[in-house]
Amino acid sequence: METPIAAITAFVLDEFLPDVGHGGLDPDYDLVAGGVIDSLGLLKVLAWLEATYDFPTDEVDVGPDDLATVAAMARLLAGARPQPATADAP
């Protein structure tokens, strides 16, 4: 069975980056900062997660950071919160 990372990557490529090959998207690439997904694009992603994985968008508190990368979306699905940012360097 396809892993969530692979399925999400395929969806993002299909929907937002049709000319980019499968190896071309790093799961940690920031799709929002990189201009791939805008605010309305995030709605599309949410609707897809809901339709594909029965993700309860009404019950789970989803913030933009949860959808910024393929890896973050996979973590969201797995019920895990995103890893906290690394502490400031001294």
Partner 1 sequence: MVEPLDIAAAVATHVARRPAATALAWQGGAVTYRGLDELAADAGAGLRDLGRAPGEPLGAALTKGPAAVALVLACLRERRPVLLVPPDLAPATRTALWARAGCRYGLPHGDPRAPEAVPHPAGPATAASPAGGAGDHPALLLTTSGTTGVPKVVPLGGGAVGRFVAWAIDRFGLAPGTAVLSHAPLHFDLSLLDVWATLSAGGQVVLVEPGREVRPDHLHRLLSVHRVEVVQAVPMVYRLLLGSPATAGAPLGHLRHVIFTGDHLSPADALRLRDLAPAARLHNVYGCTETNDSFAHELGDDPFDGARGGVLPIGRPLPGVSAVIVGPDGAEVGGAGEGELWVSTPFQTTGYAGGGGPQPFAPRPETPERPWFRTGDLVARDATGRIVLTGRRDHQVKVRGVRVDTAQVEQLLRTHPHVVDAAVVAAPDPVGGHALHAVVQRAAGSGLDSLALRSYCAGRLAAAAIPSSIRLGDLPLPRTSTGKPDRRSIAAALATS
Amino acid (1-letter code) at residue 1: M
Three-state SS for 54?
coil
Nearer to partner 1, 34 or 53 (CB): 34
Amino acid (1-letter code) at residue 8: I
C-alpha distances in angstroms, 36 versus 15, 44, 57, 64, 89? Answer: 10, 12, 22, 14, 29
Minimum distance of partner 1 from residue 74's CB (angstroms): 19
Nearer to partner 1, 1 or 87 (CB): 87
Nearer to partner 1, 40 or 87 (CB): 40
Minimum distance of partner 1 from residue 31's CB (angstroms): 9
| Residues in contact with partner 1 by the rule CB under 8 A | 17-21, 24-25, 29, 33-36, 38-40, 42-43, 57-58, 63-65
For residues 12 and 31, the answer to whether their CB atoms sit within 8 Å is yes
